[in-house]
Amino acid sequence: MYTATENGLTQDSLPASISSGSRSRILSFDIATGQSKAEYIYDVSPVAIAPVPADLFATNGLTDFIVVGDRQFITIERSFAVGAQTPGTPVTGNTIRLFYADARNATDVSGLESISGQNINAVTKTLLLDLSDLKHDDGTPLALDNIEGITFGPKINGMETLILVSDNNFNNAQFTQFVALQITAVPEPETNAMLLAGLALVSIIVHRGQSMAAPSNP
């Protein structure tokens, strides 16, 4: 079982900003014993689009991920900045990117209280999809809310799918959003693990509900 910190631990790095990323930790656990095992450093990218004005709140974080092979993952990075001019209507300030992440050659840092000054190999990552590139059937860009969940979905037209979901923070200015992506997968020669060769938009479900509270995003 795996979990992760959204940004770096205080002793490892500063939170992500417009000028620099953050060094999150991916943690593994033995389900049978409940004991923690290896930990790997995952480098979260800097904030994608600057806030407007420039001194307002902005963040980027590793919000969720799914296992696709031995120490291999599809990760979500959700960037948000107040006033950022993101595509779609309404403008949300969110930029959502999916990465293929590989920890097989990453250093196990579970024995390190802090990685400061340490020579380590971080998890490697490759951009799979920037959801800002997605469009509706009429060609208009897709507005993205606070996407923070990912899972495999049902087969559609014989192909696997990924389902993404947003967290609307009980905020009436935000919306609950489900995005279905169709997977084109190819086997990796070394391990036969499935890598994503392409992701195509299948469907979008958006629900706007009444606010229970209105905390700030994210």
* Residue 212 included in any domain: no
pTM of the model: 0.86
Nearest residue to 14 via CA among 148, 114, 86, 104: 114
pLDDT of residue 157: 83
* Residue 181 included in any domain: yes
pLDDT above 80 for 218: no
* Residue 214 included in any domain: no
pLDDT above 80 for 192: no
* Residue 9 included in any domain: yes
* Residue 213 included in any domain: no
Domain of 180 in residue numbering reads as 2-207
Within 13 Å and on the Cβ side, how many CA atoms surround 104?
Answer: 11
pLDDT above 80 for 80: yes
Count of structural domains, the chain: 1
Rounded average pLDDT over 53-61 = 97
* Residue 47 included in any domain: yes
pLDDT of residue 188: 55
Pairing relationship of beta strands 176-187 and 147-156 according to DSSP bridges: unpaired
* Residue 183 included in any domain: yes
* Residue 191 included in any domain: yes
pLDDT of residue 165: 95
